[in-house]
Structure 1
Amino acid sequence: MKPIIEYQDYHTFLSDYYEERKRTSAFSWREFAKIAGFVSPSYLKDVCGGKTNLSKVTMGRVAKAIGLVGHEVTYFEAMVQFGNAKTDEAKKKFLEQMHSIALDHKVRIIDKDAFEYYDTWKNPVVRELAPLMPGAMPGDIAKACAQDVSALDVRRSLQFLERAGFLKQVQENVYVQTEKSVEGSKEGLPLAIRSMHRAMGNLAVDSLNRFTPDVRNVTGITMGINREAYERIVLELEECRKKITAIADECNDITQVYRLNLQLFPLSKEVTKGKEAKDE
């Protein structure tokens, strides 16, 4: 079984723990629950299956029951609270705690690079700009950005992108992009991407005043649809995104970095005719 600090989903961790114990002994869900002090013999089975969650009270009992000590307990408690958190802000807080513990114990979690990459709009922009400006100093790249950014910010971004393997310096101040994509766990990566979406959404709002209509295109439509129509529209948006990506890939003489946001979101609750709106 992997060390606990290589897990980010406590349901999976507990399930693996149970399977390991069962493989090496006559272990049962009833015995597992009894050791942890639960009346229901199926409670921990439901937790492992994702049907229910541990609480702040029960996570300590489970940690003790499976023999966690020291930093393992702290990591497990952060992992439980990460899994149970309802907001991105809370999830990020507990995931950062997990990263800190993992790094202190010499374990590198790839989500750290994902979070740092998506933590600011500067990283994706610098990754695109730097190869277009061979020989450019950080200050030159900063001046080429449409948004306000300092030379120090660009220098830090370049250092991160090179260290994480997103850019490769082939000569002094000459960079090429690598084929590396941003990778992460199924728990952590969506959280990091949502952070970037928020930042890019703010830049989109700012673009309304910063740029003239001839260099930016902002349109929208407010419409009434049902679930079937929503799913059809999502498929069309995905096909559109693929076509736009293909056009960009065919562009060899790149002169500028753009961002395209595709946004489709509800402006009302679901309404059934003749009835009140549902509370989700």
Structure 2
Amino acid sequence: MDSILQYQDFRRFLQDFYDWKKRTSAFSWRIYSKMGGFTSPVFMKQVCEGKANLGKKAAIKVADAFGFVGGERDYFFNMVQYAQAKTDEKKHFAYVEMQSILRANKVHHIGAETFRYYDSWIHPVVRELAPSMPGAMPKEIAKKCIHDVSATQVKESIDFQVNAGILQKTGDATYKQTDKLLAGDTQAISLAVRSMNKQMADFAVDAIDRFSADERFISGITMGVSNDAYGKIVEVLRKCREQVQDIILNDSKTEQVLRLNLQLFPLTQKIEGNENEK
């Protein structure tokens, strides 16, 4: 049975423990629930299946039953919080704490680099700037950024991306992008991407006043649509994004780093009874 630190899903850990004990003894859900101090004989089964959550007191009971102490205990509590939190902020905090505990215990999870990359706007901007400014020091790269970033943050981003294989060092302060694909836990990546999208949305608001009309393109349409039209619009936007990517791939140099946000979101609730009318 692997250590708790090898898991990111507490329900999967609890299920794997049950399966392991079942293979080696006359273990049952009743015994499992009793082990955790719960009166319901199926409580642990419901938790593993996602039909019940672990409240604070219940999480402490389970941690005690497994004898978790120190980093493992903190990791378990944060893993429960990450899975059950209702807001992105709480999920984000718990996941960051989990990664901190893993680093302290020299445990590496595939996908941790992906979360870190997408969690901050700094990394994708530095990924574009560093190869385009051969020989430039972090302070020079930082000065090119519109939004505040320190030379230390730039250096940390470069070091992180080189270690993760996102950037490759080719000479003294000279880098090139690699074709490495970032992958990992889907929920964690989605959480980090949402965090970045929020940062970039704030930058888009700032750009309205910061830049003149010939330096930015911001436009929008407020529209009433059917479900069918919505699907068609999303497909058009998806193709537009792909076309922009093709233009970038065929561009030979970088003179500036830009951000393109494609935003389509509801302004009202669904209107009942209008599914087939326009």
Normalising by structure 2, we get a TM-score of 0.88
Partner of 2:272: 272
Partner of 2:239: 239
Partner of 1:8: 8
- Name the aligned partner's letter for residue 91 of structure 2: K
Which secondary structure state, in structure 2, belongs to the residue aligned with residue 175 of structure 1?
strand
- Quote how far apart the aligned CAs of 1:56 are: 0.9
1:64-123 superposed Cα distances (whole Å, 9 cap, x missing partner): 334444432222122111211111221122222222222222212345433432343222
Q: How far apart are the structure 2 equivalents of 1:179 and 1:25? A: 48
Q: Alpha carbons of 1:142 and 1:70: their partners in 2 closer, same or farther (altered >3 Å)?
A: closer
The answer as to 2:94 corresponding to 1:94 is: yes
The answer as to 2:169 corresponding to 1:169 is: yes
Q: How does 1:127-206 map to 2 (within 5 A)?
A: 127-206=127-206
Q: Alpha carbons of 1:227 and 1:6: their partners in 2 closer, same or farther (altered >3 Å)?
A: farther
1:28-82 superposed Cα distances (whole Å, 9 cap, x missing partner): 2222123223333332222111222111111122233344444322221221112
Which secondary structure state, in structure 2, belongs to the residue aligned with residue 257 of structure 1?
coil
Normalising by structure 1, we get a TM-score of 0.87
- 8 Å contact from structure 2 (residues 92, 191) kept in 1: yes
Partner of 1:54: 54
Which secondary structure state, in structure 2, belongs to the residue aligned with residue 169 of structure 1?
strand
Q: How does 1:112-127 map to 2 (within 5 A)?
A: 112-127=112-127
Which stretch of structure 1 is more off in the superposition, 54-63 or 149-158? 149-158
- 8 Å contact from structure 2 (residues 118, 189) kept in 1: no
Q: How far apart are the structure 1 equivalents of 2:187 and 2:102? A: 16
User: Identity percentage over the alignment?
Assistant: 47
Partner of 1:278: none
Q: How far apart are the structure 2 equivalents of 1:269 and 1:251? A: 42
- Name the aligned partner's letter for residue 76 of structure 1: F
- 8 Å contact from structure 1 (residues 9, 187) kept in 2: no
Q: How far apart are the structure 2 equivalents of 1:6 and 1:261? A: 36
Count residues in correspondence: 274
- Name the aligned partner's letter for residue 218 of structure 2: V
The answer as to 2:220 corresponding to 1:217 is: no
Q: How does 1:54-73 map to 2 (within 5 A)?
A: 54-73=54-73
- Name the aligned partner's letter for residue 248 of structure 1: I
Q: How far apart are the structure 2 equivalents of 1:8 and 1:22? A: 22
Moved over 6 A (4+): none
- Name the aligned partner's letter for residue 255 of structure 1: E
- Quote how far apart the aligned CAs of 1:127 are: 0.7
- Quote how far apart the aligned CAs of 1:148 are: 4.2
Partner of 1:81: 81
Q: How far apart are the structure 1 equivalents of 2:67 and 2:224? A: 55
Partner of 1:41: 41
Q: How far apart are the structure 2 equivalents of 1:73 and 1:140? A: 43
Q: Alpha carbons of 1:37 and 1:156: their partners in 2 closer, same or farther (altered >3 Å)?
A: closer
Q: How far apart are the structure 1 equivalents of 2:188 and 2:152? A: 28
Which stretch of structure 1 is more off in the superposition, 24-33 or 121-130? 24-33
Q: How far apart are the structure 2 equivalents of 1:102 and 1:8? A: 11
User: Superposition RMSD on alpha carbons, in Å?
Assistant: 2.3
Q: Alpha carbons of 1:152 and 1:35: their partners in 2 closer, same or farther (altered >3 Å)?
A: closer
Q: How far apart are the structure 1 equivalents of 2:34 and 2:233? A: 51
Q: Alpha carbons of 1:99 and 1:253: their partners in 2 closer, same or farther (altered >3 Å)?
A: closer
Which secondary structure state, in structure 1, belongs to the residue aligned with residue 155 of structure 2?
helix
Q: Alpha carbons of 1:232 and 1:19: their partners in 2 closer, same or farther (altered >3 Å)?
A: farther
Question: Gaps (5+ residues) in structure 2?
Answer: none
- 8 Å contact from structure 1 (residues 8, 187) kept in 2: no
Question: Gaps (5+ residues) in structure 1?
Answer: 275-280
